[in-house]
């Protein structure tokens, strides 16, 4: 998304940005001999997570809110920490949906969130990333005495996850 936005001559509608990102990923994958066929699906999934995380900024600098109008809204920029926001949103989403994620699941979360392409990155480093993202959710999640994370409040996550869209 980041490079597709940077390569756009004018601020694109979100729907256009997603198509451009998928096309760019497809071209780069061909160039690198990376076999994958579902770039449109992947781009939509990434954009839905970014939308849920409020990682897209409209031209006026305000976060783009999930909803029926989001796809037809112009994206002016990305939040400075858009990767952190998006990854933290995905963890929050999993906690909300699964309800039984605890401190024992950091390794499982690392595997679910970060497909490891670089063998030099250790599982410990990925688990550290999960722990760092969980810290960023302070005030939105809490850790119960039994070691299970729970939401402090319930932000609407359904539209952001692509359900019903």
Q: Is 158's pLDDT higher than 80?
A: no
Give the Cα separation of 40 and 88 in Å (integer). 23
> What are the DSSP calls for 45-95, one per residue?
HHHHHHHHTT-EEETTSPBPPPSTTGGGSBEEEE-TTHHHHHHHHHHHHHH
- Structure confidence by residue, pLDDT tens digits, 58-102: 999 999 999 989 999 999 999 999 999 999 999 999 999 998 899
Task: Give the pLDDT band of residue 162 (cuts 50, 70, 90).
Answer: very low
Nearest residue to 46 via CA among 140, 162, 132: 162
Partners of residue 63 on adjacent β-strands: 57
pLDDT of the residue at 65: 95
Q: What is the mean pLDDT of residues 93-119?
A: 85
pTM of the model: 0.84
Q: Using the structure block, give the residue that is written with the tokens 């780069």.
A: 28
């Amino acid at each position: 998304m980041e490079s597709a936005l940077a390569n756009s001559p004018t601020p694109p509608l979100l729907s256009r940005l997603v198509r451009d990102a998928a096309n760019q990923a497809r071209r780069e994958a061909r160039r690198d001999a990376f076999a994958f066929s579902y770039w449109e699906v992947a781009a939509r999934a990434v954009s839905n997570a970014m939308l849920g995380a409020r990682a897209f900024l409209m031209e006026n600098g305000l976060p783009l809110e999930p909803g029926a109008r989001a796809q037809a809204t112009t994206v002016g920029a990305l939040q400075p920490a858009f990767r952190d926001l998006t990854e933290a949103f995905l963890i929050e989403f999993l906690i909300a949906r699964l309800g039984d994620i605890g401190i024992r699941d950091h390794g499982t979360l690392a595997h679910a969130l970060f497909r490891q392409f670089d063998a030099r990155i250790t599982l410990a480093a990925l688990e550290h990333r999960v722990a760092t993202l969980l810290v960023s959710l302070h005030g939105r999640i809490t850790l119960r005495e039994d070691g299970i994370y729970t939401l402090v409040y319930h932000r609407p996550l359904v539209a952001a996850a692509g359900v019903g869209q």
